[in-house]
Amino acid sequence: MIGSFRSWLSRAQPAIFVLFAGMAGFCAYFSMYAFRKPFTAATFEHVAGWGFVLDYKIALVLAQVAGYALSKLIGVKVIAELAPERRALAILLLIGSSWLALVMFALVPAPWNVVFLFLNGLPLGLIWGLVFGFMEGRRVSEVLGAILCASFILSSGVVKSIGKALMLDYGVSEFWMPAATGAVFMPLLLVSVLGLAALPAPDAADEAERVARRPMMAAQRRAFLRAHWPLLVPLVASYVLLTAFRDLRDNFAAEIWQALGYGEASSVFTASEAPVAIISLVALALLVRVHDNTKAMAWMHVAVGLGFAVLGLSTLAFQQGLLSPIAWMVASGAGLYLAYTPFNAMLFDRLIAWSGTVATAGFLIYVADASGYVGSVALLLLRNFAGLDLPWLTFFIGSAYVTSLVGVVLVGIAGAQFIRTSLAGQGADRHGFGRVASPARS
């Protein structure tokens, strides 16, 4: 049955394929967030059995992020080498194991239940690479990537709203709420993964424009990094900043909204993120119209730099009383995700096409992600142990300024290196701004 549907999809109109593939990817990754983020909607104050200096919720976040970060390190190898036909089953097995960890988190008392947040995060870090593997290397990858990235912008707010509603309206405890939220999304997860399994592989026209995508062994990964490290280092460094700030905003949204006066509104998580997704992703999806890979890479550098700038300027406007709290959270979120989103899909997909190397974008995404979550852990440890006895809102505002200023500098360095490399003819577009060369160059 799946084979017949795959054959039909391969002959379908591009718009139908984009709609089906985009929604399958969107729903699959959206569902994953129901197993990862709902616990952050709770504040976990005065937890019995917890007598440590480290705040209990920070301990939970650190445990999950540590598992997630370790998963990203593992994913550098696994995602690069995994055969495409094994992706769908891997998604279901990994998310199923993460849900069992949430059940154990509810059953085991503190402080011992913290370890199950680590075990919950450990399998989930591989899901993005598995899902994006179905999207990359296509002429419509920008549109598919934008739809997929919308999932992690919208889903975090939605699943936290559902988790908050389960506690406020249905009396579910803080400890059972994460597993209950995950259970709500299980049917959607199953249907969407079946949809992904039915997608046909990129065709010859896709490979001609975007280069063939194949598993990368260790020697191929090392060769790619040696060839492109001057460009990758500042890009990955800027992504470290974005990941740390995004996790701060995401994991402690309940505390930030409480400080802004919206602590009892469960819908505020969703209401603030929907405009963010629309603003940031419509702009990025327009890059599908840019067939020249060098020009697309240049526009992505501009988008990332603009996102960093909007994050800082919107925060300044809020402090000056020019933006309301909700308007600020929407504007700063739009800036954050305008800069953050390209790293998760479009930028590395285009970088491979620009380089002319037969490879997989998942490898580069996981190199960046593994580095990024180190930054996330470092920021949380700084907040808890460096004597920064600051309210969450004050710490969040300070972090926004640092992320914005340093990020603009790093993207400027990356942009200068990209221009130098392109003009020197080291990319696939050997004459500056031409079409990608033949995959045979690899």
Read out DSSP for 261-276?
A: T-TT-TTHHHHHHHHH
State the CB neighbour count (10 A cutoff) for residue 21: 25
Query: Mapping DSSP to helix (H, G, I), strand (E, B) and coil, where does residue 238 land?
Result: helix
High-pLDDT (> 90) share of the chain, %: 40
Range of 100-104, 227-231, 381-385 with top mean pLDDT: 100-104
The rounded mean pLDDT for the chain is 85
Query: Tens of pLDDT along 52-99?
Result: 878 898 899 889 988 988 998 898 888 888 888 899 999 999 999 999
High-pLDDT (> 70) share of the chain, %: 91
Query: Mapping DSSP to helix (H, G, I), strand (E, B) and coil, where does residue 213 land?
Result: strand
Hey, CA dihedral for 397, 403, 409, 415, is it positive or negative?
A: negative
Reported confidence tier of residue 2, pLDDT bands at 50, 70, 90: confident
Reported confidence tier of residue 432, pLDDT bands at 50, 70, 90: very low
CA distance 265 to 270: 10
**Range of lowest pLDDT (83-92, 298-307, 380-389, 415-424):** 380-389
Q: Which two tokens stand for residue 201?
A: 């592989």
Q: What is the pLDDT of residue 427?
A: 45
Tell me the whole-structure pTM to 2 decimals: 0.72
CA distance 401 to 398: 5
Range of 7-16, 122-131, 139-148, 265-274 with top mean pLDDT: 122-131
Q: What is the pLDDT of residue 185?
A: 96
Q: What is the pLDDT of residue 316?
A: 96
Q: Which two tokens stand for residue 216?
A: 């990368």
Query: Tens of pLDDT along 339-348?
Result: 988 887 778 8
